Structure 1
Amino acid sequence: MKTRISLVFLALFCVVTVNSFAQERFIQGIVTTFDSITIVGAEVMVKSSKEIVKTDSLGQFKVKIDGSDKLKISAKGFINQNVKLDEKTKLVAVNLKLKAGEKAREYAIGYGYVKDGEKLNALAQMTSDDVDFSQYTNMYDLMRGRFAGVQVQSNGDIIIRGVNSINLSSAALIVVDGVQVDGSVMSTLVPSQVRSINIIKDGSAAIYGSRGANGVVVIETKKGLDD
């Protein structure tokens, strides 16, 4: 009788152990900013175990998770981001947003989160913390004269790199809350609802493909950040 009970307990122990190992798995990921600039040394915390790992020189990480779990990614100068995982998640790509202001940029470069500081320095930024956007009636008036070398034409095109062709458009690509949009969207945006405007002038714009060849205007709205 004792032998039978022992076997039952042993069987139950094996089932629990197998289930435990089945739920425990590893997941890999990468942390970037502005879609392609890798962040080195960002902290990735697993909510279930509180384990913390840091991204490597390529912005990559690998952590052990327990079934459906959550990750918290943080780096000084950037807005923290939480990522909810499910059982099908195998790879995580996290794009942290840089906080507003020059201090955040200094942290990103000074703390070594962004190795190629020239990429961040090539970005011109203006936020609602720096300027009262609500005093402007439209986005064109807001941007006109605010960024060195950036022109706002009468037809609404925003020119960052000068007029490159007589026949082809030289207008910059417009990205609003992470989505590439038609330039006409600029006329519908309300300045008071905009959080920040970033101008990407150099080769970093290549991450947007051929459409980014004329430079990119990256706009974050207050609604987009709340989402």
Structure 2
Amino acid sequence: MQKLKLIVCAGLMFLISVAAHGQTELVSGKVFAFKDTPIANLKIKAKKSGETAVTDELGNFTIKCDAKDKLVFQADGFRKEVEKVVAGQRLNVKMILLDGERNSEVAILSGHLSEESLMYATSNFLEYNNDYHTYPDIFALIKGKFPGVKVYEEMGAKRVVIRDIQYFSNENNTALYLVDGVIWQDISILTPMEIKSVNVMKDGAPIGFRGANGVVLITTVDDYGKVDFDNKKGQ
């Protein structure tokens, strides 16, 4: 009797496993470059199911795949991107155009971009052609882009240190944060997707004594629509 119970339990577990593996998702989304330039004729492939799809002229796509699949996005002249499927979530995938005139030519010849759309994007939104969105938070972005810069975490709060010495013996060495020309006390609420450009100044003397520990210069994305600046300055 005990042996029969074990066989039945094993059979049920197998059926549950098969059913879970067989769950599929219909995933939709949009693929773009720069700020919002759609990429057409881009190939998407689901790693597990092997299903494929191609974006339309507006960069939209729909693909059937396993519930826990990963989608691979590939286009000539662009860096390959891989995204995890999340049930019920629409994917907006940003592609990075690789450096070099040849990559731009290939992107046009392959039908991903028109010559006009590429010229407009590179003339107006070239600074958006970055991988900032791949970083989990603003501090990881700063540390990743500027290896000499340090990020310390104390009691759950993070701070950026550019010059790892104290300018005044009784003051901390946290860098000054300058966001869109305004001093912020806390930048943790900013997300990498909201950043257009970021840079650091080791010598912030031109800004005054408040920049003595260095300055983090951040420019946010125009009309991003998710930053309430009045509530985030924290001055």
TM-score for the superposition, normalised by structure 2: 0.46
